[in-house]
Copies of this chain bind each other. A is one copy, B any other.
Amino acid sequence: MHVIDALSAVLPPTRIVRDPDVLAAYSRDQAAWAPRGAAVALVRPEDAEQVRKVVAVCAERGVPIVPRGAGTGLSGGANAVDGCVLLAMDGMDRILEIDPDEQLAVVQPGVVNDRLRAEAAGHGLWYPPDPASSPWSTIGGNVATNAGGVCCVKYGVTRDYVLGLQAVTGTGDLVRLGRRTRKGVAGYDLAGLFVGSEGTLGVITEITVRLLRLPEGAPTTIVGAFDSLVAAGRAVAAVGAAGITPSALELVDRYCLRAVDDWKNMGLADLGDVLLLGRVDDGDERAAAAMLECFDRAGAAWSTRSTDAEEAEALFSARRLAYPALERLGPVLTEDVCVPRGLVPEMLARIEKHARAHDVHIANIAHAGDGNLHPLIVVPAGDDEARARAQLAFEEILDDAIALGGTVTGEHGVGLLKKRGMHAEVGEDVLALHRAIKSALDPAGIFNPGKII
């Protein structure tokens, strides 16, 4: 039986989409530069049992399955491969439980990040992971990529909040991994292994996350304007060396500020060439003063602190809007390198060098406090020569991150764009361990083949 007929035998007809326009729209994520194949169908399961059936149908026939959330990924991890079934999890979008006493939530993978955060806030609780895509991206996608965000510098990444998962494995079993309790070491950390595996080990059908109490009081925002990327980088290294733990430390450069201004008319570019946006939690007055001093000593053109929530929100929204603002100017090739934070100035200097050497525009936003930099290489649409130069710069930046003891991807994942870089980073022996685990959990090789490894 053909895979479509077999899917039709186990799913309601409304759950299978074959319209070529819809398939094309669902065949890629936000990584404009990553290649994509042609899917045979898009399937929208309503529950875990339907997922199980789809996996069984595909496993029997060796048909690839590409799971996807909202498609906000930046590495091509959700891009279609030829002949695949796209498994869109956006229909499984129920918040199944919020338990204030145990401080946890159980959600389906299609729940949008901001929706979980809003729902948790209604109970006085907080789900910290806050990727810039939080208004659109799903918890399932966040888990698949181990998404980060602005909060990570103090509060950690998605993996730090995942207690347990329900997933369909390569053997077609629907299994529960991990736990509901606050601690647990009964066997291997299989839930943790699934986090960040980018859909290559199975399909996640339910997620249990740990929640924190919603912070009380307003945070203090510390802003510094710098004349150069490297000076801002020095301030970041100084904050680290001073042992300050901010709850955010973001960098936005002139390119990004101008792009946001052109779009939203916010007047940001007047503030300076490079902005650092720091935040400390309520009550941490000493950290706020120390951060301001680090900014000033590193040569800030000006610096200020504020507890005005509206002002702070405007600055941080500029940070969030930077990526879509740049996308308006042309295809964006997004880097996600992470280096030891003391080497942030050196890495920023190298990025500028690559921009000059390859004659490409590189804008910079960064979760600077983590050493997680997002150089964004923008080329005019249709300029194939600039595109080729950009690709060279992209790979050289990856190699520099590795050379500085860093990683090619801090939070976006490997997907398709960073396969060469990741393989260079981990080496052949560790790649072999990846292949062994992939084969062990996905013997038919159907889950998102060609991604990561």
Contacts and interface: CB of A to CB of B under 8 A. Distances in A.
Interface of A: 100-103, 124, 145-146, 148, 152-153, 156-157, 159-160, 169, 171, 173, 175-177, 179-190, 192-193, 195-197, 201, 212-213, 237, 240-241, 243, 245, 283, 338-342, 367, 370-372, 405-414, 418, 421-422, 425-427, 429-434, 436-437, 439-441, 452-453
Given A181-B338, A407-B179, A189 B159 contact: yes
A148 B183 contact: yes
A431 to B, nearest CB: 8
A184 B339 CA distance: 9
Given A243-B124, A342-B101, A407-B179, A426 B186 contact: yes
9 contacts: A169-B429, A175-B430, A181-B339, A181-B372, A181-B410, A187-B430, A188-B196, A188-B437, A189-B193
A182 B146 CA distance: 13
B437 A145 contact: no
Given A175-B430, A422-B187, A437-B437, A342 B102 contact: yes
B437 A441 contact: yes
A313 to B, nearest CB: 24
Contacts of A148: 183
A-B residue pairs, 4 tightest by C-beta: A440-B440, A436-B440, A183-B410, A184-B407
Of residues A245, A429, A432, which shows the largest number of chain B Cβ atoms within 10 Å of its Cβ? A429
A243 B338 contact: no
Nearest to A198: B185
What is the oligomeric copy number? 2
Given A102-B342, A241-B101, A437-B441, A430 B181 contact: no
B181 A406 contact: yes
Given A188-B193, A440-B437, A175 B429 contact: yes
A426 B283 CA distance: 43
Of residues A182, A339, A405, which shows the largest number of chain B Cβ atoms within 10 Å of its Cβ? A182
Contact of A183 (B101, B188, B338, B432): B338
A141 to B, nearest CB: 13
A84 to B, nearest CB: 21
Given A181-B407, A338-B182, A243 B433 contact: no
A176 B212 CA distance: 33
Given A101-B237, A102-B341, A180-B340, A146 B185 contact: yes
A414 B237 CA distance: 42
A241 B176 CA distance: 26
A439 B439 CA distance: 11
Given A102-B340, A182-B371, A196 B189 contact: yes
Contacts of A156: 160
A340 B189 CA distance: 19
A423 to B, nearest CB: 9
Contact of A430 (B101, B145, B177): B177
